Amino acid sequence: MSTRGLLLALLCPASLAGQASPTGRLAGTLRGINVPVDGSVAYLVPTQPAGAAGPQDTVVVDQLNLSFVPRLIVVLPGTVVDFQNSDPVLHNVFSPNTPSFNLGLYPRTTSRQHRFSEPGAYVILCHIHPEMVAYVVVVPTRYYAAVEAEGHFAIEGIPPGDYLLHVWHWRSVDIVRQVRILAGQTTTLELELRPAARGLRLSEASP
């Protein structure tokens, strides 16, 4: 290496290590056919095997004014969700999905935790207050987004490659669409949700 080249390498070590690869972006618009789009989740799964996404830090869901807050969360496998009770009454948190769980009764200012190990969409209920409903959607990828009430969503920082786009809503059939993400570009899609007799499923999860 010449003296000039060595000097440039010392001043700009990234020139030797290589700069970070540019990523792509996905922007979508979702339209509901007799199904509200609010409460939908969009996520990308690479078609080629990739390293498993590790769990997030503990995510909090509160019970306040006889409601779960927030009503919908998206987490990665292995993430612990802390179900807090801020109401002056007893609450019970359980899910009838597979695998099911029941955290029992507990009073105000206390909480119970559950680790969501398997991908899937879990309905969260309270035995004492049947009007309380929430959803925990466990996805096997870091590339996901909750769909806005107007039907728009965007997923940023996606490595280039081929993916399967999944869109989930508890009242809709699963949407699965092949998508190619290109470096430095935005891929746009328009999709439709249609009602299903049975919701609460992810394509990768057991019924």
Does residue 1 belong to any structural domain of this protein?
A: no
How far, in Å, are 6, 179, 201 from residue 31 at the CA level? Answer: 56, 18, 20
Q: What is the CATH number of the domain that holds 66?
A: 2.60.40.420
Distance (Å, rounded) from C-alpha 76 to C-alpha 157?
A: 17
Structural domain harbouring 163: 19-51+142-207
Q: Which residues of the chain have pLDDT under 70?
A: 1-20, 51-52, 197-207
Strand order in the sheet with 152-158: 152-158, 24-32, 186-193
Assess whether 84 and 66 both reside in one domain: yes
Q: Which of 139, 157, 176 is the last residue of a domain?
A: 139
Distance (Å, rounded) from C-alpha 119 to C-alpha 144?
A: 13
Distance (Å, rounded) from C-alpha 93 to C-alpha 37?
A: 26
Residue 135 confidence (pLDDT): 96
Place of tokens 């207050």: 129
Residue 198 confidence (pLDDT): 59
Does residue 147 belong to any structural domain of this protein?
A: yes
Q: Which of 139, 155, 178 is the last residue of a domain?
A: 139
Strand partners, 131: none
Does residue 59 belong to any structural domain of this protein?
A: yes
Residue 200 confidence (pLDDT): 53
Cβ atoms within 10 Å, residue 73: 21
Each residue's pLDDT tens digit, 141-166: 999 999 999 999 999 999 999 999 99
Does residue 81 belong to any structural domain of this protein?
A: yes
Residue 54 confidence (pLDDT): 78
- The reported pTM is 0.83
Q: Which of 86, 105, 139 is the last residue of a domain?
A: 139
Residue 202 confidence (pLDDT): 56
Residue 20 confidence (pLDDT): 65
Assess whether 33 and 102 both reside in one domain: no
Distance (Å, rounded) from C-alpha 145 to C-alpha 105?
A: 32
